[in-house]
Amino acid sequence: MNIAVVGVGYVGLVTGVSLAEIGHHVTCIDNNKEKVHTLQSGIAPFFEPGLDELMKKNVANGRLAFADDLSSGCSNAEIVYIAVGTPQKNDGTVDLTDIEKVAIDLAHIILQDMIVVTKSTVPVGTNEYIKQLIDTNIVSSASIEVVANPEFLREGSAIHDTFHGDRIVIGSNNEWAATVIESVNKPFDIPIVKTDLRNAEMIKYASNAFLATKISFINEIANLCEKIGANVDDVAYGMGLDQRIGNAFLQAGIGYGGSCFPKDTRALVQLSGNMKHEFQLLKSVITINHNQQKLLIRKAIDRFQTLADKRIALLGLAFKPNTDDMREAASIPIVNELLKEGVDVVVYDPATMETAKKIFLNNVQYADSIETAITGADIVFILTEWDEFKRLDIHIFNQLMKDPVVFDGRNCFDLDQIKKAHIEYHSIGRPTVYRKT
């Protein structure tokens, strides 16, 4: 089918490329001309494993194109996907400005009947609002139907997730539109859940909130494990074997970040508040996460009393490995707090250095390798579990630091391995390993 995708961010670009890969003719549209220009020159505007190859392949076979203008980009489209951002406002509610703009702009250019599919994460009721906005502003006699098709991909494995997802949710109050979108997605060969608009919107928020809850839960267990002398990795393994619990999302650490869990959990708390329903559990999940992000600093202050004038090397700035995204990464509050404590901060990340420079400016030093970062450091904080860190020969800390003290916020190393090295090692929810004297 002929499909237009509006918004070429993580979700829009991956959606457009994947729909082209399964045989549709897709035009990806963005109002950021620079982004479109970059895409037209064959370069993806962000790092995502496997995306470049698939993008180039489908541009070359004529199924994928890019446009910076809604009208020309949608000229042949039978279906338009909306994948623009839905950021958070200061009060925690969702900012629907971009969604509203796309809906009204579409109403001005739609000339033939069309299905409008929302990929963006939007509060319950938004798809009905989109239909109402288009219906009241439409200039032609065409009619539209709306479908909520929330996205479940993860950054860093977006292509894999799209082709091997657990389910595709198709929400519509119109059976015909739902059936068309079901057939569009059939080649993915992934179980399809057909439901109504509100259920589909709620499935997305409930899923993200549940995953965030799992993370805060295991982090609380980790904090308790430290106090009672247990090891959270072993505890999580033992819990996860129970299929009712499952082993995914039980990795203890310094909390969740990224462009979605923090925003979507706050939005759901807000949405419940609007319905005069206090979502106590989710509020606690958010508070636990907030505290967890600063855990390494509390541990370091307990250990050293003051961090003033210490040189601390941060390994990892991205909110998780395999992405150059630092949105709501734990590294940001950690750096800000360390600077307040008077710490001399040096940072290294395999993918986010350019982004980091825009955030931390001249307030930190930027290293071009792990070795440069840790040379002469008093303390190392590990904030992201990049493979590059997990594969490190841990003796490197002895070689390049005087009295190596490592605070690992992602449990990158096995404790038995650490015991063989001559370092002091603090991790999350596991016993501290002290240097042999």
**Position among 22, 31, 192, 283 found at the interface with ligand NAI (CB under 6 A):** 31
CB of 401 to ligand NAI, least distance (A): 36
Burial of 361 (0-12, 13-18, 19+ CB in 10 A): exposed
CB of 48 to ligand UGA, least distance (A): 10
Q: Check if the beta carbon of residue 176 is closer than 8 Å to that of residue 147.
A: no
48 near ligand UGA, rule: CB under 6 A: no
Is 320 marked within a binding site?
yes
Q: Residue 260 catalytic?
A: yes
Main-chain phi, psi angles of 24, to 5 degrees: -85, 160
Residue 185, helix vs strand vs coil: helix
The terminus-to-terminus CA distance of the chain in angstroms comes to: 70
Q: How many residues bind ligand UGA (CB under 6 A)?
A: 20
The C-alpha atoms of residue 103 and residue 118 are separated, in whole angstroms, by: 10
CA atoms 392, 394, 258, 367: torsion sign: negative
Residue 426, helix vs strand vs coil: strand
253 near ligand UGA, rule: CB under 6 A: yes
Buried b (16+ CB within 10 A) or exposed e, 272-294: beeeeeebeebeebbebbeebbb
* Size of the chain, expressed as the number of residues it contains: 437
Of 268, 271, 259, 36, nearest to 151 by C-alpha is 259
Question: Which option in ligand UGA, ligand NAI, none does residue 171 bind, with CB closer than 5 to 8 A by kind?
Answer: none
Closest-by-Cβ residue to ligand NAI is 9
CB of 298 to ligand NAI, least distance (A): 30
215 near ligand UGA, rule: CB under 6 A: yes
98 near ligand NAI, rule: CB under 6 A: yes
Q: How many residues bind ligand NAI (CB under 6 A)?
A: 27
User: Contact letters (x/-) for ligand UGA, 299-328, by CB under 6 A?
Assistant: --------------------xx--------
21 near ligand NAI, rule: CB under 6 A: no
The C-alpha atoms of residue 426 and residue 384 are separated, in whole angstroms, by: 15
8 near ligand NAI, rule: CB under 6 A: yes
Question: Can you read off the two tokens belonging to residue 112?
Answer: 């033939």
258 near ligand UGA, rule: CB under 6 A: yes
Is 154 marked within a binding site?
yes
11 near ligand NAI, rule: CB under 6 A: yes
The C-alpha atoms of residue 418 and residue 356 are separated, in whole angstroms, by: 30
CB nearer ligand UGA, residue 215 or residue 297: 215
Return the range that interacts with ligand NAI (CB under 6 A); candidates 114-122, 242-250, 356-364, 383-391: 114-122
Is 251 marked within a binding site?
yes
Instruction: State the binding site for substrate.
Output: 152-155, 204, 249-253, 257, 320
Catalytic residues: 260
Contact positions vs ligand UGA (CB under 6 A): 121, 151-155, 208, 211, 215, 249-251, 253, 256-258, 260-261, 319-320
